[in-house]
Amino acid sequence: MSQCFGLVTITFDDIINATSSQGPIPNSYNCLNWINGWYVDAAGLSILSGYRIALVSGSYVGSNTNGSMMNISRTNSSFNVYSFVATSASQLLLELSIQGIRGNTIVTGYTQTILLYSTLAQTITLNWYNLTTITFQSYFSQIFPPENLVGPAYQFAFDN
């Protein structure tokens, strides 16, 4: 059972009833609500996969379901986000927009857009406190816009 207070590293390796390859991150995992959160067994993928490159520990990483906006929230209390490791899951270059929300308001200074690469894991340090929701939206980079790509191409991978 997950600890709901104090510093917790989310690894996705302790999801109860996880299948061997992938599936939705269940609500209440690590005492958080996950909307469009997905887990992937990155250890079973090619070493050139962005999922595998994002892998810090264990076998699993998180991702955004089919490239959709992902929200992580906590009901009736707040949480902090210090840092995580991320990559573009498959596209060479992807933009990731992150917003920290308290109640229904985006917190001033808690918005960041990052370029993610499928070939390089990056540690994203936020140090954001007292959030009720954090949102993640991925986009194709304006630098190298691809043509005719759909859902999964917008996925990013993250761990720890």
List, for residues 64-102, the tens digit of each pLDDT value.
998 899 999 998 899 999 999 999 998 888 999 999 999
Task: Give 70's contacts (C-beta < 8 A, 6+ positions apart).
Answer: 34, 35, 36, 37, 64, 135, 136, 137
Band (149; pLDDT cuts 50, 70, 90): very low
- Residue 141 is predicted with a pLDDT of 67
Residue 8 falls inside a structural domain: no
Residue 21 burial (10 A CB sphere; 0-12, 13-18, 19+) = exposed
Contact of 6 with 19, CB cutoff 8 Å? no
Q: Does 6 fall in a domain?
A: no
132: its two tokens: 């009720």
Confidence at residue 33, expressed as pLDDT on a 0 to 100 scale: 96
The CA distances from residue 38 to 104, 106, 129, 142, 143, in Å, are 24, 24, 24, 25, 27
What pLDDT, on the 0 to 100 scale, is given for residue 150?
Answer: 43
**Range of the structural domain that residue 76 is part of:** 22-144+153-159
The span from the CA of 8 to the CA of 90, in Å, is 28
Single-letter amino acid, residue 42 = A
Reply yes or no on whether the pLDDT at 12 is more than 80: yes
SS3 132: coil
105 domain residue, yes or no = yes
Structural domains of the chain, count: 1
- Grouping H, G, I as helix, E, B as strand and the rest as coil, residue 118 is coil
Q: Residue 145: is its pLDDT beyond 70?
A: no
Q: How many CB atoms neighbour CB 148 within 10 A?
A: 5
Taking residues 124-139, report their average pLDDT: 95
Pairwise pLDDT comparison (6 vs 16), residue with the higher score: 16
Phi and psi for 43 in degrees, rounded to 5? -65, -25
Q: How many helices (H) and strands (E) does the chain have?
A: 1, 11
In this prediction, residue 19 has a pLDDT band, given cuts at 50, 70 and 90, of: confident
In a domain, 16, yes or no: no
Q: What is the pLDDT of residue 15?
A: 92
CB contact set of 105 (below 8 Å; sequence gap of 6+)? none
The pLDDT score that the predictor gives to residue 111 is: 97
pLDDT at 117 over 90: yes
What percent of the chain clears pLDDT 90, i.e. is strictly above it? 71
* Residue 148 scores a pLDDT above 50: no
CATH number where 111 lies: 2.60.120
